Chain A
Amino acid sequence: MANISFNAVERVFHQGDKEIVAVGGVTLEVADREFVAIVGPSGCGKTTCLRMAAGLEKPTRGTVSVGGVPVTAPGPDRSVVFQQFALFPWKTVTQNIEFGLRSLNIDAKTRAERVKHYIEFMGLAGYEQGFPHQLSGGMQQRVAIARAYVLDPKVLLMDEPFGALDAQTRVVMQEELVRLARKHPRTVLFITHAVEEAVYLADRVVVMTRRPGLIKEIVDIKSIRERERWDQVERIEDVMDQPSFVGLRSHIWRLLRKQHAGDPQ
């Protein structure tokens, strides 16, 4: 396992002669096995932060390190779950999940066992030989999550993984992810624009502002979750009815709304 640290990270895009500051100096430490969610309006640079941690984009200034090692390129130690699933349409469910494992030096038997474990854990049994287009959106995202977890990566990077799902499926997937995170605790950086989702899933919620993308506030959820014993509550809608949950949600909403009020655009 490992931590993720953003050290004064900036990312500037060039659009013609104009400079667009997507991320304007972010310093953030995600501890080992911590689940951190970043929320913010579209264009606040939250996805860019994740992509820099994945090695899909390079910071203009500053560094992103994972486990103390600066990130320079994508790699299987930092699995990404994409909003658009990005499953290979020409591969079966099993082949998709196994894809990353085949890059590592793991013997066929261990590989098959690990794939089988995640197929069962993610409720994909019976769909092993199916192709992505034969599955519903929720099932496809289960495959994508299994494909990322099966590598046993140092960190997991999830880019609005439930953004493309309908409301009911989304709730089911959120519960699934909590179940998964309890069984296999990992360092997770989770990007979303859904405040409730962030409060429900994360240990800490990072609120970002737009242009330049900066951290406005980091809200601690874990201490309140443990104090109020949300873990004892079975269903997501009951957790979301708790006064402590409502309080946190409203607090984050106000932070986001304030930026809109002050937004000249």
Chain B
Amino acid sequence: MEGYAINSLHELSRRQWLVLTLLGASAFIGLWYFLAFIGVTPQKFLPTPLDVVQRFFTLSTEPFVGMTLFGHLASSFHRFLSGFGLAVAIGVPLGLLMATSKVVDRIVTPLFESIRFVAPIAWIPFAALWFGTGMGGPVLIIFMGAFPPVLINTYRGSKYVDVKYLEAAWTLGASRFRVMTEVLMPAAVPSIVAGLRVSAGLGWQSLVGAELIAASSGVGYMMVKGQQSIDTSTVMSGMLAIGIVGLLIDILLRKIQERVSQR
């Protein structure tokens, strides 16, 4: 559900929309070229867009610090899925439990509220200490980023379910478990999916932060290695890859969200 913007009276035609998008993109690339050209920084510190694109394609075929760009992406994506999956597997049931049990709510909420404002990357020291450069460190950090939105949205979605469905279920003799799985959960699905979108975005963002320090593969790791040898086009290629994959994840979840809210 996208609310109506105030200026929705002035709907843009598809063509105007495309022109404006291209205008923004070319202005950005133009400015970038201009800054690289006049040399505000040594050329090494700010590559031109063309350098980045060339480097991107080179990285796609030739291994750099152990793998090609896609190898690093696959490694990052694997960690992302583990952390995100863990956040969903814990966040959804816990959110449902908190919505149905005052006791669980009382125990979890204060803890959760005090931890969730700590930025995921603040856990990097512990991630490194506990897990070294293994899989666990980045997964922990992604989890810290992805977990709060899943929990909050599941909790709110099921807390604000229309009470008539609960009353119907109670008068039909449904057990607490069935109320949770067959009433609260489906009623909260639109809210949960909206939470997944936010959660995936935050998880994917935290991933790179995690890999900058606690990893030996992945896009973040590739960027650190590029930075160490002042290979800025490699760093920017990493940024480009992260942006594209992040966008694809969001598009996929948006499609799911549209499908879900159509019911």
Binding site for B on A (CB under 8 A): 54-56, 73-76, 78-80, 82, 84, 86-91, 99-100, 102-104, 131, 133, 147, 151
> Which of B11-19, B173-181, B193-201 contacts the other chain?
B173-181
Contact indicator A103/B172 (Cβ below 8 Å): yes
Closest 9 CB pairs of A and B: A76-B173, A100-B172, A103-B173, A74-B170, A86-B168, A90-B186, A86-B164, A80-B171, A74-B171
Residue of A86, A88, A102 near B167 (CB, 8 A) is A86
Who on chain B is nearest to A98 by CB?
B172
**Chain B contacts for A73, CB-based, 8 A:** 170
Q: In the bound complex, how far is the Cα of B174 from the Cα of A151, in angstroms?
A: 13
**Chain A contacts for B175, CB-based, 8 A:** 103
**Chain B contacts for A133, CB-based, 8 A:** 263
**Chain A contacts for B182, CB-based, 8 A:** 88, 91, 99
Given A82-B164, A88-B183, A88-B186: A99 and B263 within 8 A (CB)?
no
Which of the listed residues A75, A99, A133, A147 has the most CB atoms from chain B within 10 Å of its own CB? Answer: A99
Q: In the bound complex, how far is the Cα of B178 from the Cα of A104, in angstroms?
A: 13
Q: In the bound complex, how far is the Cα of B186 from the Cα of A91, in angstroms?
A: 9
Given A79-B172, A90-B186, A151-B172: A74 and B178 within 8 A (CB)?
no
SS class of chain A's interface: helix, strand, loop or mixed? loop
The smallest C-beta distance from B261 to any residue of chain A, in angstroms, reads 12
Q: In the bound complex, how far is the Cα of B189 from the Cα of A133, in angstroms?
A: 17
Contact indicator B172/A99 (Cβ below 8 Å): yes
Contact indicator A88/B165 (Cβ below 8 Å): yes
Who on chain B is nearest to A73 by CB?
B170
Residue of A75, A87, A91 near B173 (CB, 8 A) is A75
Who on chain B is nearest to A54 by CB?
B171
Contact indicator A75/B263 (Cβ below 8 Å): no
Who on chain A is nearest to B174 by CB?
A103
Contact indicator B167/A80 (Cβ below 8 Å): yes
Q: In the bound complex, how far is the Cα of B230 from the Cα of A219, in angstroms?
A: 94
Who on chain A is nearest to B175 by CB?
A103
Which of the listed residues B170, B183, B187 has the most CB atoms from chain A within 10 Å of its own CB? Answer: B170
Apart from A86-B164, A91-B182, list 18 A-B contacts with CB within 8 A: A54-B171, A55-B170, A56-B167, A56-B171, A74-B167, A75-B171, A80-B168, A84-B164, A86-B165, A86-B168, A90-B186, A99-B174, A100-B172, A100-B173, A103-B172, A103-B173, A103-B174, A147-B172
Question: Can you list 19 A-B pairs, Cβ within 8 angstroms, ordered by A?
Answer: A55-B170, A56-B171, A74-B171, A76-B171, A79-B172, A80-B168, A82-B164, A84-B164, A86-B164, A86-B165, A88-B165, A89-B263, A91-B182, A99-B174, A100-B172, A100-B173, A103-B175, A131-B263, A151-B173
Q: In the bound complex, how far is the Cα of B187 from the Cα of A87, in angstroms?
A: 12
The smallest C-beta distance from A224 to any residue of chain B, in angstroms, reads 33
